[in-house]
Amino acid sequence: MTYDVIIIGAGVSGAASARELSKYKLNVCVLEKAEDVCAGTSKANSAIIHAGFDAPEGSLMAKLNVRGNEMMDELSKDLDIPFKRNGSLVVCIHKEELDGLKDLYNRGVANGVKGLKILSREEVLELEPNLSDNVEGALYAPTGGIVCPFILNIAMAENANVNGVDFRFNTEVETLKRKDDGLWHIRTNNGEYTARYVVNAAGVHADIFHNMVSAEKIHITPRRGDYCLLDKEMGSHVTHTIFPQPTKLGKGVLVSPTVHGNLIVGPTAIDITDKEATATTQEGIDDLISKASLHVKDLPVARKVITSFAGLRAHEDHHEFIIKELPDAPHFIDCAGIESPGLTSSPAIGEMVAGIIADIEKPEKKENWNGKRKGIVDPKVMTLEERNELIKKDPAYGNIICRCESISEGEILDAIHRPLGARSLDGVKRRTRAGMGRCQAGFCSPRVMEIINRELGIPMEKITKSGGSSNIVLERTKAMKGDE
């Protein structure tokens, strides 16, 4: 089958583009090399919905940041995803930094960020008593927010899928070329695909495909950011997202509550060459802890860290989003250099990508497009009566599988059986939070595996943590009762 549009990559950029394109009468397919959506940078970031004061004035980054931020209220309602405007503070601990705050304020105003305010030392400490005693003032941005990056990505993809977009997982694009028939021929490890348009949303790998089709080369450096995630006991240590002053390398090490009630500390900014190297280092973790402690006091990192992880920013040399049809590659739309604030901007990125194709193609809109999605039912937010009623109807909601996060079998069954359902432990984890708590899946992994085995018929030895060769168990060491 020849598709109208093929999107490479099912991160937030690809998923948002797919959802926007699903409004039109177009055959769209997303090719993703991993076994699930949200397998690249979109799964490992700060999860902040940036206000938009940091991006250079007049840049595409600034425009899409502010637009994406504005879209988030309606989108989060439509897709039933967690989102909170907790506000952000850029904190100064030296008097000489105060001029930098004014510059940020002015840039924010020029970028169209609403409600910015410079706060005195007393005003900031009233908002955040756990800030450093050295605090001198802060820039307050009430429109800053926090989101769950997994659910945002998954929800946009799910909704695109329900509206007709195909997703092909474990499908790695190897080469692509536009032939005389006017079609893009895309070779993958899973056969050849053809399409009239290609959207290159391959994250840190986007330069590879851009350079394959265009004479004007770009270069993306993977810029690693390490993080520590702290236990929920620490979730209210600060209530706003606390930033230091930004530097050339990025927004600096932040401390923020997460939308699920943990505390996140990070990221570092380390340029590397390996586009897959997401292992954290002790050096990186030590660095981020010492930097975070300059602005926030009493961070109990030694006792309360439940996990650490790293993500790779797709840093293009010109530090700007590249979203356009390439002049020397007709119908090839780049969505490259999507570093921070890419998560925030993602709904606006989707809008822009779809707009570029719609302007050329003038496709008809679908009359029956449905932009609404219902999330996985969470018994924890119900009243006792509602919960009892739910368990009466479906006892699986009364069977707790993940003790740390209190996740029931009912939620896991929903995660597996809904559109683009989970097939691995991480797939279940990102959709339900089973395994995201204090014990980091030590207790619930075997139980989630049993459910995947029973529901999808995947043998225990073939169940993976996150696709590929990440199998959990290799073989049986002894026969079980009932075996032949």
Ligand X SMILES: Cc1cc2nc3c(=O)[nH]c(=O)nc-3n(C[C@H](O)[C@H](O)[C@H](O)COP(=O)(O)OP(=O)(O)OC[C@H]3O[C@@H](n4cnc5c(N)ncnc54)[C@H](O)[C@@H]3O)c2cc1C
Q: Which residues bind ligand X (CB under 6 A)?
A: 8-14, 31-34, 39-42, 45-48, 50, 172-173, 201-203, 205, 225, 267, 311-313, 338-344
d(CA 216, CA 326) in angstroms, rounded, equals 9
CB of 311 to ligand X, least distance (A): 3
Kindly tell me which of 9 and 427 has the beta carbon lying closer to ligand X. 9
CB of 17 to ligand X, least distance (A): 9
CB of 351 to ligand X, least distance (A): 15
Kindly tell me which of 74 and 271 has the beta carbon lying closer to ligand X. 271
Kindly tell me which of 238 and 449 has the beta carbon lying closer to ligand X. 238
Q: Which residue number is nearest to ligand X in terms of Cβ?
A: 342
* C-alpha distance from residue 1 to each of 4, 27, 184, 188, 200 (Å): 10, 10, 13, 15, 20
Kindly tell me which of 50 and 295 has the beta carbon lying closer to ligand X. 50
Kindly tell me which of 42 and 163 has the beta carbon lying closer to ligand X. 42
Catalytically active residues are 50
CB of 83 to ligand X, least distance (A): 12
CB of 349 to ligand X, least distance (A): 8
Kindly tell me which of 189 and 370 has the beta carbon lying closer to ligand X. 189
CB of 168 to ligand X, least distance (A): 9
CB of 12 to ligand X, least distance (A): 5
Kindly tell me which of 253 and 407 has the beta carbon lying closer to ligand X. 253
